[in-house]
Structure 1
Amino acid sequence: MSTIIILLCITVILFSWTREKNIYNPLMLFFGLWAIVVFGDSLHLFGLYKADNIIYFIFFIGLLSYLFGYYIIMLKQNTNHINVKNERSNDHKDNEKFIINEKSFFVLGFLTLFIIWKTALPTVLLLLSGVSFYDVRYVLLGTTMETQNNFLLSYFALPFSHVMLHLSLINFFLYKKKNFLLLTILVLLGVVLTNGARLYLLYYLIDAVVIKVIFNDIFGKKMEGISRKLNRRRNIYISVLTAVLLLGMAYITLLRKSDIFKTIYKYVVGTVPHMSQRYEEFEIVNKYTYGVTSYQGFFRPIFSLLDKIGVNSELFSLSEYFSNQWQSAAFIAPDTIYNFCVSLFMYFYVDLGIVGVIIGSITYGIICALAYRSMKKNTNVKSLALYLMIVQSILMSMIRYQFTDLSFALAFFYLFFVIKKRNNRMKSI
């Protein structure tokens, strides 16, 4: 079954290239990632356990359903005879565009910086006292997590840090401004120091690479003279930033006393045998959550408020039970402990079995297609930020369905606090 999945992925990748002629379209990213995951799993390096055949069947159904959902939108575009390039050109002239509200960004950004570094302070003190990153992450995690269990961090600072990651790079590429970068990097460092996590470094790395590729593809051919010099400077900044982020993730990995290659392989591929174990555990309970698990990030504020007034939800409690269960340690190889990462398809399956995988994957395909089409049709700060968020969710799909994360979900809400409509008299980007 894994061979069939890999062939499907390769076919879709080649087809998406012939149609889009870029490497950042959703089909290329999604099917490229899953080709790597399934092929890597087939190697069974480091004694990785083999998953049950049902897991590969779920992957196959999920990938086909995603493809169907994606083309519901893209084929509709072709039926209406939409020329993406012409639309984008017209939209730059006729449509209202958006810019970053710098005052709001800095006010909210400095507030985020204060909250995150206040939260990170206990970890910083532990590190200064000689405690290792390994102990911070694994031995003293319960202690550090207590300091992170506060409303402002969960419902404001971490969600807004997502917004800062996207907008600082968009501001740099579209408006040639570096004024957001330092503040964002300080926030990013604070997030990493809270518990030694590397995910936010990976998020920023994804953003940096993808926005550079998109910018060069859409605007690169129009550049001449001084614009090309500015673009070379951007390339230098992004190259340096990419190197620093990679070195940062490698350094944290070494501080955790982990092998770098094994760590990368484990996180990319380990989701397959891990999902197999969680699938078996779920079959014992065999109760569906009907969409609550997949979109837990959006539902959490609502159910938390209801809980405060004494109204409990059985579905949300069940969803929380599964999420907590996946956080517990499981062996994916004789000497390898794993947790948390179960792939987006497991969230869909918990919601409604195979039917949930079909519906969830179709819905996700539609979301990705809409975000991509909007960005290509009218490339502005709003459409780029939204698409970067979707790209992040695609490249994290072997770990989880990003819409389950409270910070990721609320970032969509905070994004509109710092983006405003552009005055028609202002110069188009």
Structure 2
Amino acid sequence: MISIIIAFICIVFLLSSKFYFKHWFNPYFAFNILWFCVALMISVGNKFVYKPSNISLWCILIGIIGFNLSLFSKKIIFGQSTTEICSYKLNHKAIYLLSIIVVITWAIMSIGSLSSLYSGASFAQVRSEYFTYDTSSNLYYYLRNYFSVPMGYVVITSTIMEFFTENGNKSKVLFLNTALIIILQAITSGGRYVLLNSFYILVCAYFVLRKNKASIKLRYKILITFLCLILGYLMIFLTNERSTNLMTDMSLFEKVYTTIYLYFSGSVTYLGRVIENAPGIVGSTFGLNLLAGFISPIFVILNFMHIINYPQVFNTIGTYACIELLIGPSTYFNAMPTAFGYFFIDGGLILTFVESWIFGYACKRFYIKAKEGNLLYIGLFLLLFVQICNSSTRWFIYTSDFALAFIYMRFVLKKKNRNF
């Protein structure tokens, strides 16, 4: 019953966002389409996955309401209001140089993964190796999470922005570097997120910068379609390579539906199992999960300087909500308790509502600024759009490897010289 209510609320706010923004493509449209599909799948069910618990469904319901109510919130102004909009343009030299550096770092870090694959290891084994480094002493871990991954997202985002910008250089070398970054990261991690997230950024950029799409030549439109097909193929390839024994005897339709169900809806069941497995986790992070990706690097530095020990509260998610749990008769799941799950762990249903509203309000304000043509906000909204589309799986901003991309985005932009 709760899943039906969720689906109904999503439709109501989806239509409301159309009247508010006067067009279909907006953050609330993407958000509610996603959760409508999740709620619909939960209502239909899957024989390989248990039905979500009531507490996890209530968490989702409250989170969806909180996010959507931000649609009707007025602009919050801190200090003196100003109508001045700082204008930015892409720093092509910085993007190009950064893309080369990131390619080199990923090439070095992928040597071990490529060697393992060549020796016969599966992508699942490669992925396991990727996440088993000693975070207290390994330079690789810090290079990957504080530079290579977030800077990789900056290069991907800025390259796609350049492609859709009217005066973009459309550098073939830059596109090649970006493609190498995506492929090397996917191979090294054995994961699909970078592929899916690149697809989200590409689609979002097309609609946000659609005022320029009339200037896109036919060959570039063909290239966009080709890139989407390539990303889709790689997603299917990695999914098939990482298929579990559970899917061995399934028909093609069952395998596809189960994969989609697990990826988008299995996390709701998993959230309930996390709470059942560790009931004391609720309220144990005191609101830190919302911006942990921005905050934790500060304590990493302080710990390195022996000023203060790294707070264990930042390890709560990894300890209790990133472990393998049974979510079906023979189906295991880990590490994806939905974005709202992070908020619920922060402080129950109250903080689920509050933090979801903050998330929704940020999406709204960044989107409005992006539609005004501010390239900095366009880049930031493209990254936020990735989180919107992944809200049924995890809260990316909890980790520095994605959160820092919001800060690094400023490095590839420079202020325009304005004439008055």
TM-score between both structures, scaled by the size of structure 1: 0.86
Q: Does 1:16 align with 2:17?
A: yes
- The within-5 A match list for 1:330-345 is 330-345=325-340
8 Å CA contact retained: 1:67, 1:365:
yes
* 1:312 matched residue in structure 2: 309
The aligned counterpart of 1:5 is 6
Residue number in structure 2 paired with 1:85:
none
Note the aligned Cα RMSD (angstroms).
2.3
Q: Which amino acid aligns with 2:309?
A: N
Counterpart among 267, 273, 276 of residue 272 in structure 2 = 276
Letter in 2 for 1:348: F
- Which position in structure 2 is the counterpart of 1:63? 64
Q: CA deviation at 1:213?
A: 2.5
| Structure 1: gaps (5+ residues) | 78-90
Would you say 1:98 and 2:88 are equivalent positions? yes
Q: Is contact 1:23-1:29 (8 Å) kept?
A: no
Which whole-Å CA distance do the structure 2 matches of 1:271 and 1:233 have between them?
40
Distance 1:379 1:145, change over 3 A: farther
Amino acid at match of 2:117: L
Shift of 1:133: 2.3
Query: Are residues 165 and 206 of structure 1, via their aligned partners in 2, closer, same or farther at CA, if it must alter by over 3 Å?
Result: same
Match of residue 125 from structure 1: 115
Which range is displaced more, 379-388 or 198-207? 379-388
Cα gap change, 1:310/1:191 in structure 2, threshold over 3 Å: closer, same or farther? same
1-side partners of 2:27 and 2:74: how far apart? 12
Larger deviation, residues 234-243 vs 62-71: 62-71
1:107 is aligned to: 97
Partner of 1:288: 284
Would you say 1:249 and 2:204 are equivalent positions? no
Deviation of 1:9 (Å): 0.6
> Could you say which structure has the higher helix fraction?
1
CA distance in 2, matches of 1:312, 1:6: 45
Question: What residue is the counterpart of 2:147 in the other structure?
Answer: 156
Of 359-368 and 275-284, deviating more is 275-284
Measure how far apart 1:288 and its partner are: 2.4
1:361 aligns to what?
Answer: 356
The 8 Å contact of residues 278 and 320 in structure 2, kept in 1 or not, is answered as: no
TM superposition shift of 1:358: 1.7
Distance 1:358 1:122, change over 3 A: same
Q: Of 189, 193, 204, which residue of structure 2 is paired with 1:210? A: 204
Instruction: Using the TM superposition, give the Cα deviation of residue 279 of structure 1 relative to its aligned residue in structure 2, in angstroms.
Output: 1.8
Aligned residues of 2:133 and 2:141 also touching (Cα < 8 A): no
Q: Distance in 2 between matches of 1:302 and 1:402?
A: 18
Aligned to 2:299: 303
Q: Which residue of 1 aligns with 2:251?
A: none
Match of 1:178 in 2: 170
Q: How far does residue 48 in structure 1 lie from its aligned partner after superposition?
A: 1.4
1:379 aligns with 373
Q: Which residue in the other structure is 2:252 paired with? A: none
CA 1:189–1:148 in 2, change beyond 3 Å: closer, same or farther? farther
**Aligned residue in 1 for 2:225:** 239
Question: 1:237: Cα distance to partner?
Answer: 1.1
Alpha-carbon separation, structure 2, partners of 1:374 and 1:213: 14
CA-CA distance at 1:367 after TM superposition: 0.7
CA contact 1:272–1:342 (8 Å) conserved in 2: yes
Distance in structure 2 (CA, Å) of the matches to 1:153 and 1:389? 18
Could you say if the C-alpha distance between residues 391 and 133 of structure 1 is closer, same or farther in structure 2, counting changes exceeding 3 Å? same
1:109 to 1:394, Cα distance in 2 relative to 1, 3 A: same
Amino acid at match of 1:151: Y
Equivalent residue pairs, number? 397
Alignment partner of 2:186: what SS?
helix
Which residue number in structure 2 is paired with residue 87 of structure 1? Answer: none
Q: For 1:368 and 1:278, how far apart are their aligned partners in 2?
A: 28
Contact 2:63 2:353 in 1 (8 A): yes
Query: 2: CA distance between counterparts of 1:255 and 1:268?
Result: 19
Q: CA deviation at 1:219?
A: 3.8
Match of 1:51 in 2: 52
The structure-2 alpha-carbon separation of the partners of 1:148 and 1:330, relative to structure 1 and needing over 3 Å to count, comes to farther
Deviates more, 1:51-60 or 1:233-242: 51-60
Rate the CA distance shift 1:47–1:299 in 2: closer, same or farther, 3 A: same
Structure 2 CA distance for partners of 1:249 and 1:145, relative to 1, 3 Å: farther
Q: Which residue of 2 aligns with 1:88?
A: none
Structure 2, unaligned runs of 5 or more: 78-82, 245-254
TM-score w.r.t. length of structure 2 = 0.88
Range 391-400 or range 283-292, more displaced: 283-292
> How far, CA to CA, are the matches of 1:22 and 1:253 in structure 2?
34
Give identity over the alignment, percent.
26
Confirm or deny: 8 A CA contact 2:275 2:281 kept in the other structure. Answer: no
> Post-superposition shift, 1:116?
1.2
Task: State the distance in 1 between where 2:4 and 2:123 align.
Answer: 40
